[in-house]
Amino acid sequence: PLADGEFSPVFRLLTIFAYGTYADYLAEAANLPPLTEAQKNKLRHLSVVTLAAKIKCIPYSVLLEQLQLKNVRQLEDLVIEAVYADVLRGSLDQRNQRLEVDYSIGRDIRREELSTITRTLQEWCQGCEVVLSGIEEQVSRANQHKEQQLALKQQIESEVANLKKTIKVTTAAAAAATSQDPEQHLTELREPAPGTNQRQASKKTSKAKGLRSSAKIWSKSN
């Protein structure tokens, strides 16, 4: 394999560009091929990406130490180059002497980091299942509440309809009880109520008796 053969220094340098940093290169520079200035800056860009994966606001002091730059001007020029190369996006906070990173590209991972990534993904999946279960429970509750409200609405509408029918029937019965047939009404007007003729006959008899008494009194006086 390349890691143990003649080209092991080149292979090691390749792994540093894949997921290492400029500090890693400096630590093994004696056993690695030399880099041009452009290659050094490229590795410095990737080193900033590695730092940005851990912290989004990187102090200038940390960057100067990790990238082995002499002054802030060189650091800011390097960051501007990385932004134009679309390696990262962010802003330079000169007042607070820090780099604020909004976005950075991804890098390759080491083999020993696979277990950590797997565990993180499993935890993320478990969290998603918990959230999904909670959402399904809320949806079920919402559907039950909707069904209850619909049943209550139907019950109220049924009760209102029955009440309207009852009121209509009661009103019709009351109207029928208070109204009369026109022909029956005329008949009642033509035919006096029972007992009326007897009272009238009694009144006529009394009147006749009174007249007879008056006549007798008048004849005696003559």
User: What CATH number is associated with residue 39?
Assistant: 1.10.10
Distance CA 61, CA 212 (A): 150
- 44/91 same-domain check: yes
Could you tell me what percent of the chain has a pLDDT over 70?
Answer: 79
pLDDT at 168: 86
Q: Domain span at residue 49? A: 7-104
Report yes or no on 32 lying in a domain: yes
Residue that is last in its domain, among 71, 104, 137? 104
- 74/33 same-domain check: yes
- 41/95 same-domain check: yes
Residues written for the chain: 222
pLDDT at 174: 81
Strand ranges of the sheet holding 88-93, from the earlier edge strand across to the other edge:
57-59, 98-104, 88-93
Residue that is last in its domain, among 104, 136, 155? 104
The distance of Cα 133 from the centroid of its chain, to the nearest Å, equals 16
Residue that is last in its domain, among 52, 83, 104? 104
pLDDT at 109: 85
> Reduced to 3 states, what is the DSSP secondary structure of residue 221?
helix
- 87/28 same-domain check: yes
pLDDT tens, residue order, the chain (222 aa) = 667 778 889 999 999 999 999 999 999 999 999 999 999 999 999 999 999 998 999 999 999 999 999 999 999 999 999 999 999 999 999 999 999 999 999 888 888 888 998 999 999 999 999 999 999 999 999 999 999 999 999 999 999 999 988 988 888 888 777 764 545 544 554 555 555 555 555 555 555 555 455 544 444 444
User: pLDDT tens for residues 126-146?
Assistant: 999 999 999 999 999 999 999
Which residues make beta-bridge pairs with 58?
A: 99
Quote the radius of gyration of the chain (alpha carbons, Å): 56
- 100/12 same-domain check: yes
- 40/114 same-domain check: no
Indicate the number of domains in the chain.
2
Q: Provide the whole-model pTM.
A: 0.58
pLDDT at 122: 94
pLDDT at 80: 95
- 71/11 same-domain check: yes
Please, what is the end-to-end C-alpha distance for the chain in angstroms? 177
**Residue 145 token pair:** 């509440």
- 157/77 same-domain check: no
Report yes or no on 218 lying in a domain: no
- 132/84 same-domain check: no
Distance CA 138, CA 62 (A): 48
pLDDT at 110: 84
